[in-house]
Structure 1
Amino acid sequence: MASLLDGCTPWPGECVDRYWAAGHWGGNTLDNLLRGWALEYGPRTALVHGGTRVTYAHLNRRVDRMAAGFRLRGLRPGMRVVVQLPNVPELVVTVFALMRAGVVPVLCPVAYPASGVPELVRVTQAVGYVGPATYRGFDHTALAADIAARWPFLRRVFTYEAPGTESPYGGMTTDPSNCQYAPLGSIDAAPEPALPLSAGQVAFLLPADGDGGTPRLVPRTHNDYAYQARAAAGLVSLTGDDVYLAALPAASAFALGCPGVIGTLGVGGTVVLADGTDPAACLQAVERERVTLTSLPPAAAEAWLDALATVRADVSSLRLVQIGGGPLSRATAERVERELGGRLQQVFAMAEGPLVLTRPGDPDESVLTTQGRPLSPDDEVLVVDADGQNVPDGEPGELLVRGPYTARGYYRAAGDNARSFTADGYFRTGALARRTASGDLVVTGRRPERSPAG
């Protein structure tokens, strides 16, 4: 296995051998997988945003040209770039282009607290920032300029402007601190030969939910994330006929690969990028695009259900509604299938990697009242008491997990690693759970300092 970035914890050699032998890890980078998807699904629609439709072939060409443009502007393999974009096609293009250039995207949802973005830059020593010039009244360019003045390694800012909006930068400009600014749309150059990248390298860094202090960043490799997205897609029988609505931030753990954006692209399906979970806009998108699956937190699901009577959208295309990120009442769970029509799938997902889901074919009682079972047959799960001892089925305890897509440590965070990972590699999720007699997990709560990603 190729060495990870400095500051990352590798899987032990015996685990690497086991995951390879089991076929979990495929040895292909995510950006190279996109090349294959473009060859196989070229004219199909990969991304939809409003009236914009992007085919697989066009997506791959744009990624190729943007990757070359990033390299032309001095970005080199192993460097880090913070990406903070809303749910627009440029988000997907940028993330894949950076990976294709060997650069590590630091995924940052556009709603991430402004006070935390400088810390993301500092911890990762990011040399670049990609964000909207302004978004919903907030000046991201000013935020980037402030960070650049504070941290001298940030020297490239790429700004996204919505189509039809004139960029403040006609081309690359430089401020007194020697930071370069350019519109994201100008990052374009003739494609270059593919770089010799390794699937064992970090594909991106994903912020874990936390208490607002120093951010914990999860290094996700190409191997482990490709496996997670592929396995999650297989679990729900995802095909090229499926249409996934990304109402949650597409760069978040839940919407990115559970199966989410990457899982849908991997089977030739269509990803519809929404600007949020607003019930009217999303329900209309379900009808217009014939959406078949989506992911929501419980509060958004309840808002959708309550809006059905007034919006009156045809949601008969929905076949699966994933709900995770918080406790789901039985009453709401029952309403999902009765009123939205799609099969409910309860999900417990974290940026660190643990992914627990109900299966579409599970008994109704399990789907309505549990979070199901871990994604992988090689997930190792413990439910332990305060002393680290296993508790009997039915008794609550802390959920500990290790497996082929669960990170072994945070990025450059020795103190957090000592608190959050056991000596033998189990991730302490902080979630309180109990195991039913049938083997399903019921997440009953969590310690205040940890929370499931959503």
Structure 2
Amino acid sequence: MTGEFTPWPEADARRYRESGIWRGIGFATVLSELARRYGEHTAVVDARGPVGYAALARRSERVAAGLAARGLRPGDIAVVQARNDADYVVLLFAAFRLGVIPVCALPAHREREIGYFLDHTGAAAYLHPGEDDHRRIAASTAREVRLVTTVAEAAASSGPVDALPPPPGGGDLALLQLSGGSTGVPKLIPRTHDDYLYSVRVAAEVCEIDDRTVYLCALPAAHNFPLSSPGILGVLSVGGTVVMAPDPSPDTCFDLMDDAGVTMTAVVPALAQAWLTAARTRGRRPGSLRVLQVGGARLDAAHAAQVAPVLGCRVQQVFGMAEGLVCYTRLDAPDAVAHHTQGRPASPYDEIRIVDDRDRDVPDGHSGHLLARGPYTVRGYFRAAAHNPVAFTPDGYYRTGDLVRRTETGDLVVTGRAKDQINRGGEKIAAPEVEELLRGHPDIHDAAVIAVPDPVLGERSCAVCVAAPDRDPTGKQIRRHLRELGVAAYKIPDLVRFVPHLPRTAVGKIDKKRLKEDLSR
């Protein structure tokens, strides 16, 4: 994969290695160490029962050998789309052991996204949940792929482990995460074993977890938040237990939390609100829960303040990105910080700048563009030579697209976004991508996609369309058009409005600020 992604400058890499935060080993080696230390202690639980650390290590190694027998080799890329179950964890560590690089596709992705991931990476495999929908996706997008099978079948593979090559090292690619994406389909984020392992270790320290932690994975496991902040990988790194929830509903999750003695979980604001409502309505709350992490979007202070009295646990706000930087409110923070800020960077090695439109630093208390770099923040996207100079500064800072201000305590408050992006309950929608697809409809002359406030999701998407001459399309027809194109369901506009024309700025761009004002009247 040399040349496919931007490495850290050698001076920085040497500093991280010499400081010991980059250990030079991969996840497979770490799992072997954990298996020796924790043995039969439960690592993962799903509907089929518990899997211990030693069993997880043995099974993932056998599956790695089975994948090798089915034609996969170190350095191959596999697009993986999975349910929340133990098979996903087994398959992830099997890929780590063999040196196959997973693309962490989300359950909602469909032909457009999966096809792009396969084509852009030249993937050798597409591993999917096995439903009719996914078999259709495979049939239409994966014709040139070497291995197409279900996650369950792949996780049941077995082969001779003696034939496996040595496990990958710290500098090798571990996986490809997905960006929130402000233009087109998500960019691919190359995370190495060194940087991703450090990010989960420092998250485990900040979140004060240990081998007594029982973590409920309620969000889709492939998201960076439930995978690594500290998530599945962080909890496993300290010998804790991960409980896989098949869905995030209060009915499912409250029962799982009570049955397994869950102490920590992570949700997006819309889900936090649903759980709060369920707890108030039913007079029931999880008895063992100690920490509710909320991330993916900003949680308003009023709802943050309800977590302790209604759910009986501490709220921890998490603000970060799959490109690297993650901020947390500390568990001992006063309520004024925990409820009103999004925390501060996890690592003392994190470097951030808050700048104006000309990249000049702004004083604390003033809002500006957030730039970040450090030992777990990437220096470039995968195979994105044209886009990287836009997304990263010449000295290696990632332009996050977030607008923030820093308080006198050093915590960050998210004040907005500079990217043309909608945050729908934690799912990021790139407005230009949907606009391009809308303009491809024969009945649409022009279109703009904007965010509108929503009390549950935070934001909903609204497509504002100008009909083609002598055409009279309906919102139902427009949404059906997008579904037929194989667009992920969360990207299909919640609202469709038709206007005679779109307002423009002096330089001819669509004036989305004015459009929002006009529609709110």
TM-score by length of 1: 0.90
**CA displacement at 1:144 relative to structure 2:** 1.1
1:40-439 aligned within 5 A: 40-134=37-131, 138-149=132-143, 152=144, 154-160=145-151, 183-192=153-162, 193-211=164-182, 213-439=184-410
Check whether the contact 2:126–2:142 (CA below 8 A) recurs between aligned residues.
no
The equivalent of 2:13 in structure 1 is 16
Distance 1:396 1:256, change over 3 A: same
Quick one: higher RCO (CA 8 Å, sep 6+), 1 or 2?
Answer: 1
For the aligned residue pairs, the C-alpha RMSD in angstroms reads 1.6
Check whether the contact 1:349–1:355 (CA below 8 A) recurs between aligned residues.
yes
In structure 2, give the amino acid aligned to 1:357.
Answer: Y
Check whether the contact 1:421–1:427 (CA below 8 A) recurs between aligned residues.
yes
In the alignment, the residues of structure 2 paired with residue 186 and residue 265 of structure 1 have an alpha-carbon distance, to the nearest angstrom, of: 21
In the alignment, the residues of structure 2 paired with residue 186 and residue 258 of structure 1 have an alpha-carbon distance, to the nearest angstrom, of: 28
Distance 1:448 1:207, change over 3 A: same
Structure with higher Rg: it is 2
Distance 1:185 1:198, change over 3 A: closer
Check whether the contact 1:206–1:219 (CA below 8 A) recurs between aligned residues.
yes
Distance 1:212 1:400, change over 3 A: closer
SS at match of 2:74: coil
In the alignment, the residues of structure 2 paired with residue 105 and residue 451 of structure 1 have an alpha-carbon distance, to the nearest angstrom, of: 26
Check whether the contact 2:71–2:147 (CA below 8 A) recurs between aligned residues.
no
In structure 2, give the amino acid aligned to 1:191.
Answer: V
SS at match of 2:23: coil
Could you tell which deviates more after superposition, 100-109 or 48-57?
48-57
The equivalent of 1:174 in structure 2 is none
Could you tell which deviates more after superposition, 337-346 or 201-210?
337-346
SS at match of 1:139: helix
Check whether the contact 2:285–2:310 (CA below 8 A) recurs between aligned residues.
no
SS at match of 1:333: helix
Deviations 1:4-23 (A, max 9, x none): 54310000011111111222
Deviations 1:374-428 (A, max 9, x none): 0110111000010000011111101000000000000001122111100000000
Distance 1:5 1:336, change over 3 A: farther
Check whether the contact 1:287–1:313 (CA below 8 A) recurs between aligned residues.
no
In the alignment, the residues of structure 2 paired with residue 191 and residue 110 of structure 1 have an alpha-carbon distance, to the nearest angstrom, of: 31
Could you tell which deviates more after superposition, 421-430 or 87-96?
87-96
**CA displacement at 1:283 relative to structure 2:** 1.3
Runs of 5+ consecutive residues of structure 2 not aligned to the other structure: 428-521
Check whether the contact 2:369–2:418 (CA below 8 A) recurs between aligned residues.
no
In the alignment, the residues of structure 1 paired with residue 215 and residue 296 of structure 2 have an alpha-carbon distance, to the nearest angstrom, of: 18
In the alignment, the residues of structure 2 paired with residue 389 and residue 211 of structure 1 have an alpha-carbon distance, to the nearest angstrom, of: 23
The equivalent of 1:166 in structure 2 is none
In the alignment of these two chains, the number of paired residues is: 424
**CA displacement at 1:288 relative to structure 2:** 1.1
Distance 1:88 1:397, change over 3 A: same
**CA displacement at 1:194 relative to structure 2:** 4.8
Deviant stretches of 4+, over 2 Å? 183-186, 309-314, 447-454
Check whether the contact 2:279–2:285 (CA below 8 A) recurs between aligned residues.
no
Check whether the contact 1:130–1:157 (CA below 8 A) recurs between aligned residues.
yes
Check whether the contact 1:209–1:451 (CA below 8 A) recurs between aligned residues.
no
Could you tell which deviates more after superposition, 75-84 or 208-217?
208-217
**CA displacement at 1:51 relative to structure 2:** 4.0
**CA displacement at 1:313 relative to structure 2:** 4.1
Deviations 1:218-240 (A, max 9, x none): 00000011111011111121111
In structure 2, give the amino acid aligned to 1:148.
Answer: A
The equivalent of 2:29 in structure 1 is 32
In the alignment, the residues of structure 1 paired with residue 294 and residue 92 of structure 2 have an alpha-carbon distance, to the nearest angstrom, of: 25
The equivalent of 1:180 in structure 2 is none
**CA displacement at 1:319 relative to structure 2:** 1.2
**CA displacement at 1:310 relative to structure 2:** 4.2
**CA displacement at 1:334 relative to structure 2:** 0.4
TM-score by length of 2: 0.79
Distance 1:196 1:86, change over 3 A: closer
In the alignment, the residues of structure 2 paired with residue 103 and residue 298 of structure 1 have an alpha-carbon distance, to the nearest angstrom, of: 34
Distance 1:206 1:5, change over 3 A: farther
Check whether the contact 1:86–1:109 (CA below 8 A) recurs between aligned residues.
no
**CA displacement at 1:27 relative to structure 2:** 1.3
Runs of 5+ consecutive residues of structure 1 not aligned to the other structure: 162-182
Deviations 1:236-281 (A, max 9, x none): 2111111001101111110011010001001111101112221111
